[in-house]
Every structure is written in structure tokens, then in C-alpha cells.
Amino acid sequence: MFTSERLRQQISFLKEIDNLKQILRQTVLVKDQRQENDAEHSWHLAMLVVVLSEYSNDSSIDLLRTVKMTLIHDIIEIDAGDTFCYSKHDKQEKTEREREAAHRIFCLLPEQQAQEYIDLWEEFETMNTPEAKFAAAVDRLQPLLLNFYSEGYAWRKHGVKRSQVIERNHHIADGSSELWRFAEALIDESVKRGFLLNG
């Protein structure tokens, strides 16, 4: 059925990542408070990147690479699962699980493509390029938006406090000072409206 071994590998990867649509996050959708899944989240992030790129601290980021990063950054959760960002977990153990997942899933692809995506995922994780910093910033901003517009659904469910949200999200500033100013205002407004505990 496949016209080449290369295409067979690529289609095998594209079939496997259909499973990202099964991985649920804690954040809920604005309209019906259904839990968001990782594929929907990744699409929304890519949209944030293209719409908000003008606010990147570095004005010359490579937009295609940043978008690719948001598209693939959660694929490892097909194996490794989603970890709620305010839960306590063993970071070392999480990192190993995620690295194994990256290897299994991306290596369904032909070698060079596999390497490209593993590198992109590691770049996102280490956050030491302007692209990764901006991708990480929108990866934090998007759940803040959903939390705000769902009246703090996930925050209230888990009894999350303002200080935890600040601690978890302040590195938005590394990717975009302007979006962090907005995020801080959003957090303050959330406390004011009772969506988020003060403290």
C-alpha cells in the first residue's frame, strides 16, 4: 500500500499521534467546562504564537520553528501522561519517562526527521532560545486564559493560590514582558472576582 518505506514510517507516526487527542488536561474549555485534551491545546498554542508573535521579547524569532515546537511539545504525553502543573512530583522520574516517550514516538519517523523533532522538543524543554522562550510563554498564557474565562474552574477545584500561579507562570516574562504584564493583571482580576485564592 505504501509507495516507499519512508512514507510508511511517516504515516505510522501520523497515525500514532492521533492518540494525543486522548490525553486530558486539568484545564477546561470556556463553553462547557469539558477537560481540554493535548491536541486541542497544541492547536490553540500554535494560534497564540501566530497571533501574538509581535509581543516576543526577541523581535526576530523564527515563527515556523516556534509553531512547530508548540505543535509537537506535548506528543511525549501520549506515553508519559499529563502532569498537573501545581502537583508535587518527582522531577527526575518525570524527565526520564518523557525522554523515553520522545524516543519511542519520534523514532517512528525516518531518522533525520526523528532527530529534528527530538531536538525541537529538547529545545522547548530547556528554554534557552528565543523561540523556546516564546513557545513556553504562550504554553503558560493559554491555560491562564482558559482558567480566567471558565471562572477559575480548575483553580477552584484544586484550591490553587495566587502565589502558586505567580511562581508557576512568571517565566512568561522571559518570552514576553508585555504578555507577562497582561498575565499579572489577569491574575489580580481573578483574585478580585473570586476565581483564585489570595495568598
Nearer to a copy of itself, 10 or 83 (CB): 10
Taking the complex as a whole, the smallest distance from the CB of residue 89 to a copy of itself amounts, in Å, to: 26
CB of 120 to a copy of itself, least distance (A): 10
C-alpha–C-alpha distance, residues 180 and 169, integer Å: 8
Output 83 or 113, the one with its CB closest to a copy of itself.
113
By beta-carbon proximity to a copy of itself, the closer residue of 50 and 94 is 50
Q: Name residue 28's beta-bridge partners.
A: 35
Residue number with CB closer to a copy of itself (36 or 98)? 36
Distance CA 28, CA 26 (A): 6
Nearer to a copy of itself, 46 or 196 (CB): 46
Instruction: Give the number of C-alpha atoms closer than 13 A to the C-alpha of residue 43, restricted to the C-beta side.
Output: 6
Name the 3-class secondary structure at 138. Answer: helix
Task: Look up residue 79 and give its three cell numbers.
Answer: 506515553
Q: How many CB atoms lie within 10 A of CB 99?
A: 16
Find the shortest distance in angstroms from Cβ 53 to a copy of itself.
11
Q: How far is the CB of 36 from a copy of itself (least distance, A)?
A: 7
Q: Are 20 and 74 contacting, i.e. CB atoms less than 8 angstroms apart?
A: yes
Would you tell me which residues interact with a copy of itself (CB under 8 A)?
Answer: 1-3, 7, 10-11, 13-15, 17-22, 29-32, 36-37, 39-40, 42-44, 46-48, 50-52, 55, 63-64, 67-68, 71-72, 109, 113, 145-146, 149, 178, 181-182, 185-186, 189
Q: CA dihedral in degrees (112, 116, 121, 125; nearest 10)? A: 120
